[in-house]
A = this chain, B = another copy of it.
Amino acid sequence: MKPNEISKPVLKRLPSYLAYLKSLPEDGPANISATALAAALDMGEVQVRKDLALVSDGGRPKVGYLRESLIADLEQFLGYNNTTEAVLVGAGKLGRALLGYGGFAEYGLDIVAAFDADESLAGQDESGRPIYGMDKLPAFCQEKKVLMGIITVPATAAQGVCNLLIANGIKAVWNFAPIHLDVPPGILVQSENMATSLAVLSVHLSAQIRG
């Protein structure tokens, strides 16, 4: 099955299988069963079996999956072996943090440049990635054929930045601004809503304090 034929809920579960498999000790058992994976991740066994069957034909009755092969199949399926180049807009604290974060390479993401409306931020960040003024964005995205844009500007500026990215060829937007973005068909927005997470956590805590 091709990745684009898989449902979004299934797709969202695959990285957790991968993360768990990679967290197991190197010198542990070579095989793992869908039953063991389901138990470890607190998920239904039938669901785990179905999900894994979509990405790997390596499962064998009573033996399970060869762990290393299943990791390779998941990484291949999720495109972690191919590098996706992305630009980031908004070189404030959060933006520079993402720019300098080395961990994305593991998922095949390479943030090749950052842009900011504040020209005084232009130069290089500490990891050596370039930061440019916004006027450089259109030519950069078009020439490098960049397909992913990361938005780390304030909520009020996010829709305008999103429109500019799409006008210059971006097809997938990773949005860290706490606001809904309107996009035309064919463009995917994935929002990382930290404010939502914090609200859920805070409300849980206030219930604890009262309780």
A interface residues (Cβ-Cβ under 8 A, vs B): 2-4, 6, 8, 11-12, 14-16, 18-20, 22-23, 40-42, 78-80, 82, 84, 93-94, 96-98, 100-104, 107-109, 147-148, 155-156, 171-172, 174, 178-180, 182, 186, 188, 190, 192-211
Kindly provide the distance from the CB of A72 to the nearest chain B CB, expressed in whole angstroms. Answer: 16
- Given contact pairs A16-B196, A79-B205, A147-B208, enumerate 13 new A-B contacts (beta carbons under 8 Å): A3-B203, A8-B200, A14-B199, A15-B199, A16-B180, A19-B179, A40-B180, A93-B101, A97-B98, A107-B194, A147-B205, A174-B198, A188-B201
- Bound complex: CA A22 to CA B158 (Å): 13
Report A181 CB to chain B, min CB distance, Å. 10
Taking a contact as CB atoms under 8 Å apart, the answer to whether B79 and A202 are in contact is yes
Nearest residue in B to A96 (C-beta to C-beta)? B97
Given contacts A3-B206, A41-B180, contact A199 B97 (CB under 8 A): no
Contact between chains at B78 and A203 (CB < 8 Å): yes
Question: Which of B78, B100, B203 is within 8 Å of A11, CB to CB?
Answer: B203
Residue of B nearest to A25 (CB): B156
B19 touches A195 (CB 8 A): yes
Given A19-B195, A196-B16, check contact A148 B201 (CB 8 Å).
yes
Q: In the complex the two chains form, what is the Cα distance from A191 to B176 in whole Å? A: 15
